[in-house]
Homo-oligomer: A and B are copies of this chain.
Amino acid sequence: MAELSDKIRIKDIAELAGVSKGTVDRVIHNRGEVSEASRKKVEKVLQEMNYKPNVYASALASKKRYHFLCILPEHGADDYWAQVEAGIKKQMAELRDLNVTVDLHYYDQYDVYACRELYEKVPGMQPDAVLMAPLFKDSSEKLARKLEEQHIPFVFVDSQVEGVEPLAYYGMHSFKSGHLAAKLLFHEHPEIESAVMFHAVRRGETGANQTVQRKAGFMEYIRCHRPGCVLHSVGLHWNNKEENDRILTRFFEEHPEVKAGVTFNSRVFMIADYLQRNASREFRLLGYDLLGQNVTFLKSGEIEYLIAQRPEIQGYRGVKALADHLIFKQEVSAVNYMPMDILTDENMEFYLNFPSI
């Protein structure tokens, strides 16, 4: 076995095998027109020399062009999805000189019809690969099937869709993260006998895939460890503060005994904000994701814990998986659960601007 530092070139392989570099190239890329005898010889030498192509030279010489598509929910600048997008863009920059272009498309995550409309257009765009956040389960499955038919590889980020096997998934183990949420809230707090779960009201298809799983994990913990605990569920409207205020005020008036709450999406700051403005009572609140707004309330104490999941890495690695598969012909691992980061006011600052890639 040759040393790693040997710098063996395709020309060296050719000489050792007694053929020309053209032939070696044909063997490496499996593009035929090689006699059995030559192929054997070359493969033997490749093996022995542990040949690794120079990725730089390879990228430079290759004339192939690739076009990737990324489909995300619309989002503001300080948002969970903005972080995913930042990761995507970082990977885009690294792929630029590999002749890969990446297009981003967005849908309204609170409106399944808008999502479907976008999905319809995807096959027509003839992408070489697709990254998507399959918030809406059924619609996403439909698109996935169509991509499978056309042999277009795709990856999921953020949430999975049961029964569909993307090239790769990057995201949390949603169910277990719900379990962890419950444990953080209830463990060593026997005094808590009821809790409230806040969720977003959506148009069309039922709740987002991801949050459904988290909720299930949460309830599983309750069932096993706090069977007597009463769980409430409250639906809130995205971007309608007045309406939410009314709903929350009413809920807390009717249920003064509730001392703990959780949101299964990243908008826990909405609740925290309400609590800060209206309630002086003790309340243990937990939510997801390291948004700027959530950080504020983690610092000020309205939020007890956040569970975070490295959205930037999801975007970065998701796109990278497509490139690894298509361009570098590497195996990519199919299921990649992100670490579930537990954030408190103590350790939060070190997550804030850490460029995790």
Alpha-carbon gap, A54 to B94, bound state (A): 10
Shortest CB-to-CB span from A51 to chain B, Å, is 13
* Residue from B52, B59, B346 within 8 A of A179 (CB atoms): B346
Shortest CB-to-CB span from A343 to chain B, Å, is 8
Whether B336 lies near A339 (C-beta < 8 A) is: no
Interface positions of A from 156 to 188, Cβ below 8 Å from B = 172-173, 176, 179-180, 183, 188
Alpha-carbon gap, A60 to B97, bound state (A): 13
| Residue among A96, A340, A356 having the largest count of chain B Cβ atoms under 10 Å | A340
> Given A183-B346, A346-B179, are A54 and B341 also a contact pair (CB < 8 Å)?
no
- Contact digits for A39-63, partner B, Cβ 8 Å, 1 yes 0 no: 0000000000000101111011000
Alpha-carbon gap, A176 to B344, bound state (A): 13
**Interface-lining segment among A22-30, A132-140, A222-230, A347-355:** A347-355
Residues of B within 8 A of A351 (CB): 339
Interface residues of A, CB < 8 Å — how many?
35
- The chain B residue with its CB closest to the CB of A99 is B7
Alpha-carbon gap, A338 to B355, bound state (A): 10
Residues of B within 8 A of A125 (CB): none
Whether, in the assembled complex, A300 has its beta carbon less than 8 Å from a beta carbon of chain B, the answer is no
Whether, in the assembled complex, A276 has its beta carbon less than 8 Å from a beta carbon of chain B, the answer is no
Interface positions of A from 305 to 357, Cβ below 8 Å from B = 313, 336-342, 344, 346-347, 350-351, 354, 356
Residues of B within 8 A of A278 (CB): none
Whether, in the assembled complex, A239 has its beta carbon less than 8 Å from a beta carbon of chain B, the answer is no
Whether A354 lies near B340 (C-beta < 8 A) is: no
Alpha-carbon gap, A183 to B342, bound state (A): 14
Whether, in the assembled complex, A101 has its beta carbon less than 8 Å from a beta carbon of chain B, the answer is yes
* Residue from B313, B339, B344 within 8 A of A347 (CB atoms): B339
Whether B340 lies near A350 (C-beta < 8 A) is: yes
Alpha-carbon gap, A304 to B280, bound state (A): 32
Residues of B within 8 A of A350 (CB): 172-173, 176, 337-340
- The chain B residue with its CB closest to the CB of A305 is B342
Shortest CB-to-CB span from A288 to chain B, Å, is 13
Whether, in the assembled complex, A4 has its beta carbon less than 8 Å from a beta carbon of chain B, the answer is yes
Whether B56 lies near A5 (C-beta < 8 A) is: no
- Contact digits for A100-129, partner B, Cβ 8 Å, 1 yes 0 no: 010000000000000000000000000000
Given contacts A5-B101, A56-B98, A176-B346, 9 further A-B contacts (CB under 8 A): A56-B59, A56-B97, A57-B60, A60-B60, A172-B350, A180-B347, A183-B344, A339-B341, A341-B342
A residues with CB within 8 A of B: 4-5, 52, 54-57, 59-60, 96-98, 101, 172-173, 176, 179-180, 183, 188, 313, 336-342, 344, 346-347, 350-351, 354, 356
10 CB-based A-B contacts, threshold 8 Å: A5-B96, A5-B101, A179-B346, A180-B344, A183-B344, A313-B356, A337-B354, A339-B341, A339-B356, A342-B344
